[in-house]
A = this chain, B = another copy of it.
């Protein structure tokens, strides 16, 4: 009973992972692969988001959390439900139809899409039975179903979100430098900021707390490390109602 699937509802997860070393915002996708019955040719060979049907007694949020856990082993990561996709033509290209016939999917499936924010390095892809793989958001592979669209809409939502809330720190290690924050903003938004102004602005915030620590193992002047205090942020945060239209 607990494991009965709702036939036409799924949850798809866009897993964003930031790689602080390569300074790349990545998306985790898995292989979709199907050979013909004779084995003579490959019918479907592309990537898809990780998703799953919702169980009868499962919440939507719970389903997203489960999908992430099965994929990465991680729990307690930042997630956001950002949109439902359910147009009747969302699964109508040739490869999708072959796949759907093979898997016995319902043709009219509505998917509730979530995105997660985490660190690429936190995910262990050693025993990845589904050939999961990270791709930079700017270099996505061929994607099945409407998953390219879903990823790009998640990315747009993330861009807006990171301007108004400090979600950026979900993508960074606990201890970071000011320049690392700047690089991540630039990587997400695709624009450059003046380092001196960016630095001044960030350091001024009470919830960006300098640590008694510096970078180690760098071959130049080591940078000051900072942390983000959720406590301070939430305590001092009063909505400023700045109308910026």
- Name A residues whose Cβ lies closer than 8 Å to a Cβ of B: 6, 8-9, 54, 56-61, 81, 83-88, 108, 110, 112, 160, 162-166, 168, 185, 189, 191, 193, 201, 205, 241-245
Measured in the bound complex, the distance between the Cα atoms of B123 and A215 in whole Å is 63
Measured in the bound complex, the distance between the Cα atoms of B46 and A63 in whole Å is 32
Are the C-beta atoms of A110 and B243 separated by less than 8 Å?
Answer: no
Measured in the bound complex, the distance between the Cα atoms of B193 and A241 in whole Å is 9
Are the C-beta atoms of A189 and B8 separated by less than 8 Å?
Answer: no
Measured in the bound complex, the distance between the Cα atoms of B230 and A142 in whole Å is 36
Measured in the bound complex, the distance between the Cα atoms of B89 and A175 in whole Å is 40
Q: Return chain B residues, CB-CB under 8 Å to A110.
A: 6, 9, 54, 60, 110, 112
Q: Which 5 A-B pairs have the closest CB atoms?
A: A59-B87, A84-B84, A166-B245, A84-B112, A60-B86
Given contacts A6-B108, A8-B9, A83-B81, contact A56 B88 (CB under 8 A): yes
Minimum Cβ distance to chain B for residue A98 (Å): 22
Are the C-beta atoms of A163 and B86 separated by less than 8 Å?
Answer: no
Q: Return chain B residues, CB-CB under 8 Å to A88.
A: 56-59
